[in-house]
């Protein structure tokens, strides 16, 4: 039975009941949905959710919800399989981080950023954060895959500088050739 009080909808059914045609019917438990609503003579008839569907709360619904599919092309993988009482939980694939978290499941992921030559990996990307890059400064370099910038090689006195170091490459040294007199 439904009552209107101060223009608000108030149900006269109990917490574990739902209203149908003026009757208060017992809800189905998690993992089950209504097969037949109750009547004056019978209780609610409940049946289990079909495979690949779930319902996580007591309910008066005549259907279960389809299980989420973790789409690998969206950077996702299955963390926990769907059960009759809980949806699939998705997480980012290795090399990805979550960009759309809903409750305990990731709905979309993006690939971790790559640092450019001249940058180092200041903070490695995780399941919930992107990679953070830092710039090399001074006499240091990185190809973008290092966790810190490395100092440029100092050519020994017996070697010459072929190419000076930059922030994205090391110094190249070469042996000095001395002519031998016979």
Q: What is the 3-state secondary structure (H, E, C) of 28-90?
A: ECCCEEEEECCCCCCCCEEEECCCCEECCCCECCCCCEECCCCCHHHCEEEEECCECCECCEE
Contact (CB, 8 A) for 53 and 86: no
Which one is the CATH code of 72-111: 2.40.50.140, 2.10.50.10, 3.40.1000.10, 1.10.274.50? 2.10.50.10
Q: Which two tokens stand for residue 66?
A: 């389809």
In angstroms, the CA 167 to CA 182 distance is 44
Q: What is the pLDDT of residue 174?
A: 86
The CATH code of domain 17-66 reads: 2.10.50.10
Report domain extents, the chain: 17-66, 72-111, 113-173
Looking at the domain covering 113-173, what would its CATH class be?
A: mainly beta
Q: Which two tokens stand for residue 94?
A: 């290795």
Contact (CB, 8 A) for 115 and 121: yes
CB atoms within 10 A of CB 109: 26
Contact (CB, 8 A) for 45 and 35: yes
Query: Residue 28 contacts by C-beta under 8 Å, 6 or more apart in sequence?
Result: 34, 44, 46, 55, 58, 59, 60, 61
Q: What is the pLDDT of residue 6?
A: 45
Q: What is the pLDDT of residue 103?
A: 86
pLDDT tens-digit profile of 83-125?
999 999 999 999 999 999 988 999 999 999 999 999 999 999 9
Q: Do domains 17-66 and 113-173 have the same CATH topology?
A: yes
Residues pairing with 32 in the sheet: 48
Burial 22-60 (b: 16+ CB within 10 A, else e): eebbbbbebbbbbeebbeeeeebebeebeeebbbeeebb
Q: What is the pLDDT of residue 160?
A: 83
Mean pLDDT in order along the chain per 10 residues (182 residues): 47 88 93 94 95 96 97 95 97 96 93 96 96 96 95 87 92 72 52
Contact (CB, 8 A) for 120 and 131: no
């Amino acid at each position: 039975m439904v009552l209107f009080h101060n223009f608000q909808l108030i149900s006269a059914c109990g917490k574990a009941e739902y209203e149908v045609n003026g009757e208060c019917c017992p809800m189905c438990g998690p993992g089950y949905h209504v097969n037949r609503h109750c009547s004056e003579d019978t209780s609610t008839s409940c049946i289990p959710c079909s495979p690949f569907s779930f319902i996580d709360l007591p309910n008066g619904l005549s259907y279960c919800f389809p299980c989420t599919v973790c789409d690998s092309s969206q950077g996702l993988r299955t963390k926990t399989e769907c059960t009759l009482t809980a949806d699939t939980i998705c997480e980012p694939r290795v090399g990805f981080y979550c960009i759309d978290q809903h409750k305990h499941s990731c709905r979309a992921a993006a690939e971790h950023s790559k640092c450019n030559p001249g940058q180092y990996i200041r903070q490695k990307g995780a399941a919930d954060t992107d990679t953070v890059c830092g710039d090399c400064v001074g006499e240091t370099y990185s190809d973008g895959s290092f966790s810190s910038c490395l100092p440029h090689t100092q050519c020994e006195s017996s070697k010459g500088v072929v190419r000076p170091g930059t922030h994205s490459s090391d110094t190249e040294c070469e042996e000095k050739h001395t002519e031998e007199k016979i």
